[in-house]
């Protein structure tokens, strides 16, 4: 009874002592506030932890790119999953770019291009110029690997121009470095390639980025190797190898071994060449590096061929073929088939020689490689001449001549006329054979003169560089002495003024201002974050309210139409006017303004959804995108029919056509697929 009486008298007691009531209310509100703050703080911490996790995964992916490509891919995919879960656009774009770069080094060029384009779309939408320039370089690398040279040059130039505009020296140097590789390996313009690479090296030395500096040294070594300066190339390759070995960059290390083997192969030192190709083979097997395996087998086979061990060469070429087929490297696959044809020709197995040479020819035709085509046609002609079948040989020589006349390359003419001379000898046309031999010698002299001029020009350049280096050394010594004097004077001045400059007052004021600035920036970031969250909540509420308004409006219109039908039946004389009103209602069942406003709010709530749909499933129509947006918002078929002013059956048919267009499996649900994107 006392308890009941106490509870009954609580309102009276509160009125009697309002101070106690107010105090208890304040305590209650304070506790609730603390709970809400703790909940909010926990949410912020959780989001921050996930952002830190993504940044850590991106860094790990970049660090393992040249040491363990499979692990690099794993980290990149994990960062993409987490960034999609928290729906952070910037981190999502960075994850796309990181995964694209990993796939590029894994030789999945098309997939790399796809993910880098996804990253580019987001960065361009948010005007993230720093990242846009880096993605331009990544896309350019993809096109360079696909031998789409004009597209690669376009993206490299775009990266260069944007980095110059921002003053980003590192990206500027990287874009110049990539352009140099393009001119060296794809355009074969070694003078331009060297100019770009030296410019890149100068820029990159200012940044102190040892990885890119070493890449520039490696690229310069490749250029020196291509122009025949093997001594300089070897020294540069060993310089790059030292850095790659120290860092554990296995894939870069294997590329150096490949180039060193090629240098000693070109100089005829097959023992050293075989040594480096075997090191490449060993590492490629250990790390399952397809390109390295194919290159090692092919080059070891070429050494066996040079030493006239044709059976051993054939066995090694046959090991390279399936690896190149698996990786889709058509250029090397064509080369494998051509070499197999030549080996079988030396063994007088002409049937197999023709078979493999024609396989290589088919790939050359597909790639439209004129240089490789002339070589394949000449090889086929040579095989038929070895069999004393001049009629078949002249057919391929004619095709070879047609291409040589288009390219106007003296080396192509030289090989062609040599084969023509053999053909005319077999057919007893000695005058024509003599003329062809004369033309062969003429073109041979032209090629030799060109090579000698190149050597002379290269020596002149080297001599000029040596003189310039000597001048630079003298000038550097003079500048060094001058700098020493200046440094001594500066040290005296600093010593006299240090007590004033580093006084306690200056230190206190500087740190106070810095702390105030940091606090202001922190508050500004917090306000921006809260504002962004509020805008997203507002957008979500608005889009659902708008959807409900459209549904209600369309239901009202449908009811009016039904009433008009009833009136039409009861008042036959006004059919025409009633029909006009019905048509007007049908036309206004949904308007472009409704949808324009709807799509704007939808883009705020689900950024990147519509571009992602177009990238994933190809270009979609406005009606299909409209249906996809409504499905993403989890609106029922009945409400979709009401919003679009169509029947429930029409909605089901539209979904069926959508499934058919995107080739969705029977066991997959369209709504689940779209909701998960």
Q: Is residue 204 part of a domain?
A: no
What pLDDT, in 10s, does the model give residues 272-287? 999 999 999 998 898 8
- pLDDT, greater one: 396 or 270: 270
- 488 pLDDT more than 70: no
Q: Domain count of the chain?
A: 2
52 token code pair: 């830190």
Among the residue ranges 134-143, 163-172, 435-444, 477-486, the one predicted with the least confidence is 477-486
Are 106 and 99 in contact by the 8 Å Cβ rule? The answer is: no
Q: Which of 211-220, 387-396, 612-621 has the highest mean pLDDT?
A: 211-220
The reported pLDDT for the residue numbered 352 is 92
Q: For residue 137, what pLDDT is reported?
A: 93
Phi then psi dihedrals of residue 64, to 5 deg: -95, 5
pLDDT tier, 173 (very low <50, low <70, confident <90, very high otherwise): very high
Structure confidence at residue 413 (pLDDT): 60
At 75, the pLDDT band (50, 70, 90 cuts) reads very high
How sure is the predictor about 19, in pLDDT bands with cuts at 50, 70 and 90?
Answer: low
- Within a domain: 558: yes
Q: Nearest Cα to 131, choosing from 170, 173, 94, 98?
A: 94
629 is in which domain, residue-wise? 539-675
- At 562 the pLDDT is 65
**Among 48, 69, 90, residue at a domain's last position:** 90
Residue 584 placed within a domain: yes
Q: Is residue 144 part of a domain?
A: no
State the burial class of residue 250 (Cβ atoms within 10 Å of its Cβ: 0-12, 13-18, 19+).
Answer: buried
Band of the pLDDT at 181, cuts 50, 70, 90? very high
Q: What is the mean pLDDT of residues 597-603?
A: 75
- Judge whether 397 and 381 are in contact, CB under 8 Å: yes
More confident position, 111 or 34:
111
Contacts of 81 (CB under 8 A, 6+ apart): none
* pLDDT at 384 (0 to 100): 84
Contact between residue 288 and residue 323 where contact means Cβ atoms under 8 Å apart = no
What average pLDDT does the segment 59-85 reach? 89
Domain membership flag for residue 502: no
- Amino acid 453: pLDDT: 52
Whether residue 126 contacts residue 145, with contact meaning beta carbons closer than 8 Å, is answered with no
pLDDT at 588: 42
Would you state the pLDDT for residue 538? 65
Cα distance between residue 248 and residue 255, in whole Å: 13
Residue 447 pLDDT > 60: no
pLDDT at position 600: 74
**DSSP labels, 603-619:** HHHSTTHHHHHHHHH-S
pLDDT tens digits, 514-532: 776 677 567 656 655 664 5
| 516 Cβ contact partners less than 8 Å away, ≥ 6 residues apart | none
- The residue behind tokens 């290159």 is 295
CA distance 478 to 475: 5
Of residues 478 and 438, which shows the higher confidence score?
438
pLDDT in tens, 532-569: 565 566 666 766 766 676 766 666 666 666 666 666 66
Report if residue 493 sits inside a domain.
no
The arithmetic mean of pLDDT across residues 579-606, rounded, is 63
Examine the fold and report which residue of 90, 120, 147 is the final residue of a domain before the chain moves on.
90
When the pLDDT of each residue in the chain is averaged and rounded to a whole number, the result is 78
458 in a domain, yes or no?
A: no
* Range of lowest pLDDT (431-435, 470-474, 537-541, 601-605): 470-474
pLDDT band at 459; cut points 50, 70, 90: very low
Q: Is residue 642 part of a domain?
A: yes
pLDDT of residue 658: 81
Higher pLDDT, 129 or 580: 129
pLDDT band at 145 (very low <50, low <70, confident <90, very high): confident
The Cα–Cα gap between 423 and 395 comes to 11
Q: Return all residues near 342 (Cβ < 8 A) that are at least 6 apart.
A: 305, 353, 357, 379
Name the domain boundary from 75, 90, 105: 90
**Which band of pLDDT confidence, cut at 50, 70 and 90, is reported for residue 596?**
confident
């Amino acid at each position: 009874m006392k308890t009941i009486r106490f509870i009954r008298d609580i309102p009276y007691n509160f009125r009697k002592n309002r101070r106690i009531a107010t105090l208890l209310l304040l305590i209650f509100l304070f506790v609730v506030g603390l709970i809400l703050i703790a909940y909010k703080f926990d949410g912020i911490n959780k989001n921050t932890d996930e952002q830190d996790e993504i940044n850590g995964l991106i860094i790990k992916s970049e660090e393992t790119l040249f040491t363990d490509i499979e692990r690099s891919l794993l980290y990149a995919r994990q960062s993409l999953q987490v960034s999609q879960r928290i729906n952070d656009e910037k981190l999502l774009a960075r994850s796309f770019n990181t995964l694209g770069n990993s796939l590029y080094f894994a030789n999945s060029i098309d997939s790399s291009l796809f993910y880098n384009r996804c990253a580019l779309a987001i960065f361009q939408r948010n005007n993230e110029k720093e990242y846009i320039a880096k993605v331009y370089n990544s896309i350019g690398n993809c096109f360079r690997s696909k031998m789409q040279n004009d597209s690669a040059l376009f993206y490299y130039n775009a990266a260069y121009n944007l980095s110059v505009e921002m003053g980003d020296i590192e990206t500027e140097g990287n874009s110049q470095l990539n352009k140099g590789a393009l001119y060296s390996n794809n355009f074969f313009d070694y003078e331009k390639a060297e100019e770009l690479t030296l410019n890149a090296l100068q820029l990159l030395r200012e940044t102190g980025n040892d990885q890119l500096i070493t890449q520039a040294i490696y690229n310069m070594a490749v250029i020196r190797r291509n122009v025949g300066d093997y001594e300089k190339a070897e020294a540069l390759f060993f310089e790059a190898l030292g850095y790659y070995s120290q860092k554990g960059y296995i894939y870069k290390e294997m590329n150096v071994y490949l180039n060193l083997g090629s240098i000693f192969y070109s100089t005829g030192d097959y023992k050293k060449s075989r040594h480096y190709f075997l090191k490449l083979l060993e590492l490629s097997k250990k790390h399952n590096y397809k390109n390295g395996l194919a290159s090692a087998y092919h080059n070891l086979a070429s050494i066996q061929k040079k030493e006239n061990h044709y059976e051993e060469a054939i066995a090694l070429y046959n090991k390279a073929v399936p690896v190149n087929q698996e990786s889709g490297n058509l250029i090397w696959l064509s080369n494998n088939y051509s070499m197999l044809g030549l080996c079988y020709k030396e063994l007088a197995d002409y049937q197999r020689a023709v078979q493999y040479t024609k396989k290589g020819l088919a790939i050359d035709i597909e790639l439209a490689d004129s240089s490789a085509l002339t070589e394949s046609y000449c090889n086929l002609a040579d095989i038929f001449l070895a069999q004393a079948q001049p009629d078949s040989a002249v057919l391929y020589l004619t095709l070879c001549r047609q291409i040589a006349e288009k390219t106007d390359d003296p080396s192509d003419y030289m090989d062609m006329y040599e084969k023509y001379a053999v053909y005319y000898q077999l057919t007893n046309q000695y005058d024509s054979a003599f003329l062809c031999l004369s033309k062969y010698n003429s073109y041979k002299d032209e090629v030799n003169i060109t090579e000698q001029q190149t050597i002379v020009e290269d020596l002149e350049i080297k001599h000029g560089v040596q003189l310039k280096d000597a001048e630079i050394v003298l000038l550097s010594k003079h500048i060094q002495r001058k700098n020493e004097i200046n440094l001594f004077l500066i040290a005296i001045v600093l010593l006299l003024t240090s007590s004033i400059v580093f006084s306690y007052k200056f230190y206190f004021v500087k740190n106070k201002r810095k702390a105030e600035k940091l606090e202001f920036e922190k508050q500004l970031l917090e306000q921006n974050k809260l504002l962004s969250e509020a805008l997203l909540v507002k957008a979500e509420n608005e889009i659902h309210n708008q959807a409900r308004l459209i549904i209600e409006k369309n239901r009202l219109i449908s009811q009016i139409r039904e009433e008009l039908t009833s009136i039409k039946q009861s008042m036959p004389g006004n059919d025409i006017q009633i029909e006009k009103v019905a048509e007007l209602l049908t036309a206004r069942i949904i308007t472009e303004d409704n949808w324009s406003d709807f799509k704007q709010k939808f883009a705020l709530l689900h950024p990147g959804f519509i571009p992602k749909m177009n990238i994933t499933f190809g270009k979609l129509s406005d009606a299909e995108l409209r249906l996809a947006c409504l499905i993403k918002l989890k609106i029922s078929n009945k409400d979709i029919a009401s919003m679009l002013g169509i029947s429930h059956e029409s909605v089901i048919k539209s979904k069926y056509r959508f499934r058919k267009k995107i080739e969705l499996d029977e066991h997959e649900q369209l709504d689940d697929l779209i909701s998960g994107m």
